[in-house]
Amino acid sequence: MSTQYKPAIHFQHVDYRIGDIEILNDITGSFPQGRITTLVGPSGAGKSTLLKLCNGLISPANGEIFIKDKAIGEYDPVELRRMVGMALQSAPMISGTVYENLNLPLELQGQQLSKEEALELLEDVGLKSDLLERKVKELSGGQRQKVSIARTLVNKPEILLMDEITSSLDRASKLEVEELISKINRKYNTTIIWITHNLQQALEIGDYTWVMMDGQVVETGESSLLEDPHNSRVNEFVKGVVS
């Protein structure tokens, strides 16, 4: 991993297990501040678990995680999760309208999102303004995913974690979201950590890549490593042998 950028998140010998099952094993490495890092690897490699560790939804069994050089345990969990935003593949929604979902992060802080801000967010993620009062149960999978991304942006996170957010989108929507995330990254210097199964996407939008397998990081570096991996298992994975 390049050392020319300050780390936004640093993992130091991190293990995570559920009961006796080891999910992550001795993870060490950094996600550079202000850059886009993609996490790739076969299903069950521990990528989603790693994201949940980054915003404190779970804690490591061993090792230490530092967010902006401060141990994660020293952060107030609420403050940490507002600083490290997360958008999930399943795009869970609360029942109600699109506006109620967009307003949720501020409602949790006793504030309210103005209609103008909500419309601006919809525009940012490529959704039409007439969706604002639409019930979320009437949205398509792609629309839900975009609302989920917009909702994550309400807290203006410094670090954005995204778990396969484009997997349910059509090609046009996928490109719109990729462009949006790149724009956020450039405009606000937001650190992006993005899980994707799409290696082409990792190559195109990621500055750096972590390849994970069986709970371990097996190769890291600039995203171009996916074109010519050093590790034989990564090579097999890239060629589609391991899925």
d(CA 59, CA 44): 18
Does residue 151 bind other proteins (CB under 8 A)? Answer: yes
Token readout for 148 is 């989920």
Contact indicator for 45, 29 with CB cutoff of 8 Å:
no
Minimum distance from residue 68 beta carbon to other proteins (Å):
17
Considering only residues 26, 29, 58, 66, which one is a binding residue for other proteins as defined by CB under 8 A? 58
Region binding other proteins by CB under 8 A among candidate stretches 29-37, 88-96, 134-142, 187-195: 88-96
Applying CB under 8 A, the site for other proteins has a residue count of: 24
Minimum distance from residue 22 beta carbon to other proteins (Å):
17
Contact indicator for 181, 125 with CB cutoff of 8 Å:
no
Does residue 149 bind other proteins (CB under 8 A)? Answer: no
Does residue 10 bind other proteins (CB under 8 A)? Answer: no
Minimum distance from residue 102 beta carbon to other proteins (Å):
11
Considering only residues 90, 112, 189, 224, which one is a binding residue for other proteins as defined by CB under 8 A? 90
CA-to-CA dists, residue 137 to 170, 174, 202, angstroms: 19, 21, 31
Q: What is the β-pairing status of strands 191-195 and 36-40?
A: parallel
Does residue 59 bind other proteins (CB under 8 A)? Answer: yes
Closest to other proteins by CB, 164 or 219: 164
Does residue 168 bind other proteins (CB under 8 A)? Answer: no
User: Which residues within the stretch 101-130 sit at the binding site for other proteins (CB under 8 A)?
Assistant: 104-105, 108-109
Does residue 172 bind other proteins (CB under 8 A)? Answer: no
d(CA 226, CA 59): 30
Contact indicator for 210, 37 with CB cutoff of 8 Å:
yes
Does residue 64 bind other proteins (CB under 8 A)? Answer: no
Q: What is the β-pairing status of strands 62-67 and 7-18?
A: antiparallel
Contacts of 225 (CB under 8 A, 6+ apart): 209, 211, 219, 234
Does residue 82 bind other proteins (CB under 8 A)? Answer: yes
DSSP code, position 183: H
Does residue 56 bind other proteins (CB under 8 A)? Answer: yes
Main-chain phi, psi angles of 60, to 5 degrees: -70, 155
Residues that bind other proteins (CB under 8 A): 55-59, 73, 77-79, 81-82, 85-86, 88, 90, 92, 94, 104-105, 108-109, 151-152, 155
